[in-house]
Structure 1
Amino acid sequence: MAIRRNSFINLAGAIAGLALFAALTPLYFHVIGAERYGILGIIWVFLTFFAAFDFGMGAALTYRIANEARSDIARQADYFWTAMAISVPVGLIAGGVLFALVGGGFGNIFKLTPAISAELFHSALPLFAIGVSTILLTTINGFLIGREYFVANAVLGAIGPALSILLPVLAALLISPSLNVLILATLAGRAIMVLAGILVSQFMALQGARPSISARSARALANYGMWMSISGLIELAASSADRFILGVVAGPAAVGYYTVPASVLARVMIFPTSLGTVALPQMASRSAEEEAILTGKVIAMVAMITPCFVAGEFLAEPFLRLWMGPAFARVATLPMQLLLPAFWMEAMAAILYFRLLAQGRPGTSAAVAAAILLPYCLLMYFLVDAWGVPGACLAYMGRNLMFLSARVTVTRSWRLMAIVVGPEALSLVVALAICLFAWPAQPPIVIGIVVVLAAIALALKRRPAEFDAMVRDFWRPVSMHFARPAPGDAGGNPGG
């Protein structure tokens, strides 16, 4: 019940953020242009690196509070403010690195025009502050998860990305679309989120407890956080090389055409991540046989979204045309169709990542990522050089295939994956093959409808019992709401 409830909360926050992202991105892209959008996409990659290399304070807070200080508010306050104190100098280092990158010839690396390079140079100081706020936000996020404040965390998680787009859009429309103005507006959004997170943590979660900092808490947090940070940095390096390499080889405009469909599809990852996060403690506490059964159920739940990926293959062009315009759709349709199976594989690999953590093997996960990083970067470079944006998508597909295969191998899950998601994988391969065969035209609509209906029927026929339970959990309060008689309704008064 807790797994389903908490997954619902995380999913609701992600959907709200996705809706705002979808509404504002077309305006944002067209107002600032492909080059500026691509540069911002590359900068956010660096910021994502810094968020992962937060000295593990977010993950350490989650672990220490959930396992050691669950009922001790004073100890929680000590952990929280100690982690925040550690995060400030770490954030200053991250901001300094970003400052050096921007002020040290960032424009020359990505072949920017002189005007855009000047705008970027004038954005260096705000980027310094954004680096600090990014680290603080990851720390606050870890604290709220440890306290199981999933609703507050989901609200902040939905509002944060919206402000990151809404405020720059308003600044571009009302002031200027230059990079220095856009980054200042982004900094304003981050500052609002940091302040809101601190207020929620201090006055809701900690009930106004006196802030304190201790060396003991610092040692406990650092011992756990250091290894998590190293592991997370390796994982993120393997996840974020695409935009950097694409920007260097094909230019920042190509990054924009790659980032928009990739950003949309990345939102799907909240579903497997939510399930894996809340299932992790139960997976870790069970016997090997019971853990394998639970893992299979979680993977089967994630596989229920396969028809959405199948439908996406046929709807990519009309979706992008209506959302971003015909010119954008002509460039980005094929990349989106190639990215759909890539993100499907990433969703399945995510559950196996949580299985490794449940088995007490985070080092194995880091070793897998380290082994894949160099081959992936080489593959990305050569395919981008040969085919541009579609080549980047093929390389990303290859990356996720390597991740999935490696995690299946080290967890010995080949038989499990073949039984649980083999037919679903085949339906997605068929859909992609049909679209590639018809390219550059679109497949006949009748064929698309038949394939999508077949994928839906397959998913429903193979659905796990937990899916029906989740539907009941969702439908029960809705049906009770509509079944409840209105005040004064004679039908609800037996004596009326």
Structure 2
Amino acid sequence: MHISAVHKSTPGRLLARNALWNIMGQTAPMLVAVFAIPRLIQTLGTARFGVLTIAWMVVGYFSFFDFGLGRALTKVVADKLGEKKEHELPHLVWTSLGAICLLGTAGALVLLSGAHLLVHSALKIPDALRPETLRSFYILAFAIPIVTVSTGLRGVLEAHQEFALLTAIRIPLGIFTFVGPLLVLTFSRSMVAVVVALLAARLITCVAHFLACIVKMPELRHGLGFEWSSLRDIFHLGGWMTVSNLTSPLLVYMDRFMIGALVSVTAVAYYATPFEMINKLLIIPSAMMGPLFPAFAMNSARQDHARSRLFFWRAVKYIFLIVFPITLLTVAFAPEALNFWLGQAFAQQSAPVLRWLAVGILVNCMSVVAAAMVQGYGRPDIAAKFHLSEVPFFLGTLYLGLHWYGILGAAVAWTLRVTLDACLLFTAAARLSADPHPAWRRVIPATLATAAALLLSTFSFPLVAKVSIVACLLLAYAACAWCLLDAYERVLVMTLGRTHPVPTSTSVPLSAALSD
């Protein structure tokens, strides 16, 4: 292992390339799902497909039994690389993986002991499917330690910026998650056989992650050992990350539960459909944060706050430039789009909701960068405390919003919550990185201009007039976006689609190009 290679992995061009790898890894399975899910529903039937969906959910949710140690391991390994302490990594990695495996085993025991209660009491599963579902849950329990260990191994590879390799592993797994059941169903209609195939895929993926770590860190072959004292910092980081990871789903999904309880189940459909549609935009910042998180951690270890600030504001800018035009089009044409997709009755209920949620997603996408910096700087407790403090605020505004305005009030409450979260995280990130300029000075001008453009696009105009107004707004956006790009980025934009590289005179690391 050579620290110089790792050091070179943090300039902006490589970070951008790693973000693209991340996007590919997340979107390729989604494209397969679009075609596979209708076939699965047709072949399995609605009830069995519901069980399969629950199986996917159980594996994903119980993966939190790593208690944030996978993410914490990324941070600590990146710190050691930044401090040139690679010799400490083998024992650290093996110790962390051992702890993660034990925690995953505990999760498996929890599922084994609670499977009967889930199948026969908590979940409304048809009587004929309960024995088959119970056996499937017992098999799924063995997947939990496999998934948690894979999370830890992935954290090690992320710290080394090996996102091309991670994508090569993630895409086959994601595709097999949907295609695998179809292959099994050609010779068996048993859900147990489907779950066994999914378990085998997870095991193969875990082995692939392990072999990749061995190749990247040959020292692991000879450095097998355990130092339990090194777990203190990892558990401290991972514990707070777990608090945040457990609170976030509550903040994300509580609106739908309360709509179902206070309004109606039909209203949940009118709300959840636009939410799930616009929520897919979070793939963009999530893909960028994979490579940025270890970069922030490494810069924190070196006390290189200037580089962190450059990466931070550059990432915020890129996300805004990508997501804003999508948000503008969504806000402007929400009624027309929903009417075309789902019909006029659905559009009348969901279009106002979609508009508010689109604004909230734009804000939330940018706050992901701040959350990555806060965690990368070793302060996951800050984000966790913010999320805990937001729960009563969100529940209160959500209740009042539903009482006064129905599902539109829920969308407004959610947007207000993510806006508050973004303000808190941006302030914390600016302080941690010793930013000499207050965060609000950078954000407020763009916020006001964005709000004005989005507000203008919501006015009731004839379709031709609306198209003309939105076209003018997009032209103004393009002009502003061009002004926001520096000379190096403009060269990159102009060379998009060409086969020859950027001229050598401008081929400098993005971190250098960021200098004011």
Deviations 1:423-475 (A, max 9, x none): 234434544x35xx69xxxx726524632551353254145655663464577
State the shift of 1:239 in Å. Answer: 2.3
State the shift of 1:128 in Å. Answer: 0.6
* Cα separation, 1, equivalents of 2:490 and 2:124: 51
State the shift of 1:290 in Å. Answer: 8.1
* Cα separation, 1, equivalents of 2:185 and 2:275: 20
Matches within 5 A, 1:322-401: 337-357=355-375, 361-377=379-395, 393-401=411-419
Equivalent residue of 2:142, what SS?
A: helix
* Structure 2, unaligned runs of 5 or more: 1-9, 431-437, 503-516
Pair 281,74 (structure 1): closer, same or farther in 2 beyond 3 Å: closer
* Cα separation, 1, equivalents of 2:46 and 2:275: 11
Equivalent residue of 2:77, what SS?
A: helix
Equivalent residue of 2:169, what SS?
A: helix
- 1:451 aligned partner: 470
Pair 447,230 (structure 1): closer, same or farther in 2 beyond 3 Å: same
Pair 268,65 (structure 1): closer, same or farther in 2 beyond 3 Å: closer
How many residues end up aligned between the 2 structures?
Answer: 471
Equivalent residue of 2:93, what SS?
A: helix
* Structure 1, unaligned runs of 5 or more: 484-496
Q: Does 1:3 align with 2:3?
A: no
State the shift of 1:180 in Å. Answer: 4.7
The AA in structure 2 aligned to 1:214 is G
The AA in structure 2 aligned to 1:135 is T
State the shift of 1:377 in Å. Answer: 4.9
Equivalent residue of 1:105, what SS?
A: helix
Q: Contact between 2:364 and 2:418, CA under 8 Å: does it hold in 1? A: yes
- 1:265 aligned partner: 281
Q: Contact between 2:25 and 2:170, CA under 8 Å: does it hold in 1? A: no
State the shift of 1:57 in Å. Answer: 3.1
Equivalent residue of 1:162, what SS?
A: helix
Q: Give RMSD over aligned pairs.
A: 4.4
The AA in structure 2 aligned to 1:167 is G
In the superposition, the TM-score normalised over structure 2's length comes to: 0.74
Pair 256,404 (structure 1): closer, same or farther in 2 beyond 3 Å: closer
Equivalent residue of 2:221, what SS?
A: coil
The AA in structure 2 aligned to 1:80 is V
Matches within 5 A, 1:219-298: 219-220=229-230, 222-241=231-250, 242-243=252-253, 246=256, 249=261, 254=269, 257=273, 260-261=276-277, 264-274=280-290, 276-277=292-293, 280-281=296-297, 284=300, 295-298=312-315
Q: Does 1:427 align with 2:453?
A: yes
* Cα separation, 1, equivalents of 2:201 and 2:152: 17
Deviations 1:326-364 (A, max 9, x none): 799869777655432222111121222234346664322
Q: Does 1:125 align with 2:138?
A: yes
* Cα separation, 1, equivalents of 2:171 and 2:141: 24
Deviations 1:389-412 (A, max 9, x none): 877655543431231233345556
* Cα separation, 1, equivalents of 2:445 and 2:57: 36
In the superposition, the TM-score normalised over structure 1's length comes to: 0.76
The AA in structure 1 aligned to 2:140 is L
State the shift of 1:304 in Å. Answer: 0.7
Pair 269,58 (structure 1): closer, same or farther in 2 beyond 3 Å: same
2:75 to 54, 63, 82: 63
1:167 to 172, 180, 184: 180
State the shift of 1:212 in Å. Answer: 4.4
Identity of aligned residues (%): 16
Deviations 1:304-337 (A, max 9, x none): 1111222244566887899x88799869777655
Equivalent residue of 2:498, what SS?
A: helix
* Cα separation, 1, equivalents of 2:171 and 2:272: 22
* Cα separation, 2, equivalents of 1:394 and 1:168: 39
The AA in structure 1 aligned to 2:74 is T
Q: Does 1:143 align with 2:156?
A: yes
